Chains A and B, each alone.
Chain A
Amino acid sequence: MVSKCLIKANSYYDSVTLMIITKEVEAVTGVENAVVVMGTEHNKELLDNVGLLNDETSSATPNDLVIAVKLVDDGVFEDIVKKVEELLNKRKTDGDEDYCPRTIEGSIKNMPDSNLVIISIPGEYAGVEAKKALMNDKNVLLFSDNVSIEQEKELKELAVKRGLLMMGPDCGTACINNIPLAFANVVKKGNIGIVGASGTGTQEIMVQIDRFLGGVSQVIGTGGRDLKAEIGGLMMIQAIEALSVDEATEVIVLVSKPPAYEVAEKVLQALKKCGKKAVVDFIGGDEELIKKYGFIPATTLEDAAYKAVKLCNNSVEKVNKLECPEFDKPIEEIETLAKSEALKLSNKQKYLRGLFSGGTLCDETLKLFSKNVGDIYSNIPLSPEFKLTNKEKGNNNCAIDLGDDEYTVGRPHPMIDSYGRQQMILKQAEDEEVAILILDIVLGYGSNEDPAGSLVEQIKQAKKVFKARGQYLCVVAGICGTKGDPQVYDEQLSKLNEAGVIAMPSNAQAVRFAIRVLKEVL
């Protein structure tokens, strides 16, 4: 094994470009391991962890491109360097001829009437740029993570003072004036405003609203830490106040993981003051507190959407008595299908394995499973004793958030690139005790251009392995998408069906179906 490296000085490329190139390099025969990154301190730690940090790579600056590889055959290094140059040049020439300023100041000068700045640069620099945007009276969507909580508080306080939106840090989803921003879906225009501290939670609610023939006025993301005690719900409250005077908004939906109690009260008080009807999904949090303020709690993300659409034309009293249907299809059809799937399983098969790209969809799965079946492990467990013990393959019943940091070091997020999930699917095929695989297929802008297509080969392969053993792999998928999304919903559905996947129109329905199959064999 030989380690080689090349440093290209003053050659900056964004993280997704570099991760895609890393993947292409790793696919070259003779390459054991490859890291193609900018020379930041964080990336040097990554290089050190994989044994690729040396004097040369140590001396790289954040503006320098580092290409570091471990080779079985050192003869291929020149080919690798050539391949990287080709890929980088291709990315450059594929770009259009529009002028791109180098600084935010330059961009503001070129577009003085800009009203929104979207920032997705490394976290250590992002806070400073976000502040510049706010000081120039621009609303901000801060996609970057690794921004300190102290900096987040400072930015949000500044935004509140200046009457602006400061969406993030770590804000993955928004839809302003019906324009999907970052990772978001194409949804019908309507009268429901959503404020979300959770990316895929917000996406699932917006697509389900569309599916229930409702529409959205605005979808405002706050970033995942907004409802922590240190931030105190600053941006959720700012958003509620804006929606309270927005004529197009008649119903409001809030979604987040369970907030600190005092923050929940603050937010609900602001919602009460707003005077509009609302559904609140604190995803497993305190329902009684929500009811105390006269709002409607939701049991699932799909249920939040269902009740919000019903609230548009019905009273709170009436909607409080409603529950989202368990399935779209008649229950007899579901039961027949679940029984037929269960009959194909062998005696040894007893476990459910969830492989998720969306953290909130994984979290919803954990809650539904533990409420209806029992113990379930995860890398984001409901309680510490159910922390995953085998993170490479999974263990027992488990649902894994593959978008979590430990699975995305040096790799694109699974919503963009399916490589990690492909490998995990194949690993499940090695385990004779696995019965059911559950996946989320997330469409929309920002996502992989073919989420279903990128997984079907591995799904078919895994099913073949089970068949060769005289077993059967049941695969269930929840599609988070709309007919307006760029990936073409019906084509995605076709690809899943053709691969033998049972596709459901929501995460909750997919989980419920998987549970029905499992209960047949338990």
Chain B
Amino acid sequence: MSKVNELFNQDLKVINMGLKSFADELKEQGVSVIHTDWRPPAGGNTKMINLLNKLKSKTK
């Protein structure tokens, strides 16, 4: 079974990142959700973020 079809047969368990209202509304509907209090890493410097991600993947 593909992972999409597995999803169709599971309870939704959601990670939300960004607008908190999306998580709040899911909670209101009884959905299991965790909200990520995200902020731009590396002071928001996208070049630095890409470098950090490359480093992370190399150290795995």
Contacts and interface: CB of A to CB of B under 8 A. Distances in A.
A163 B1 CA distance: 10
Contacts, number: 156
A124 B49 CA distance: 11
B18 A120 contact: yes
B8 A144 contact: no
Contact of A118 (B11, B15, B40, B46): B15
Nearest to B11: A177
A139 B3 contact: yes
A100 B35 contact: yes
A468 interface: no
Contacts of B37: 100-102
B15 A111 contact: yes
Nearest to B57: A135
Nearest to B37: A100
In this complex, the member of A95, A111, A125 whose beta carbon has the largest number of chain B beta carbons within 10 angstroms is A125
**Main SS at interface, chain B:** mixed
B17 A107 contact: yes
A246 B26 CA distance: 24
A424 interface: no
Contacts of A133: 15
Interface in B11-44: 11-22, 25-26, 29, 31-32, 34-41, 43-44
A63 B15 contact: no
B20 A119 contact: no
A215 to B, nearest CB: 15
Given A238-B4, A245-B5, A445-B25, A143 B12 contact: no
B4 A182 contact: no
A101 to B, nearest CB: 6
Nearest to A116: B14
Closest 6 CB pairs of A and B: A62-B44, A120-B18, A12-B39, A100-B37, A242-B4, A163-B2
Interface of B: 1-8, 10-22, 25-26, 29, 31-32, 34-41, 43-44, 46, 49-50, 53
Given A14-B20, A143-B19, A179-B31, 8 more contacts: A15-B19, A40-B44, A61-B43, A104-B15, A114-B13, A128-B53, A137-B3, A245-B1
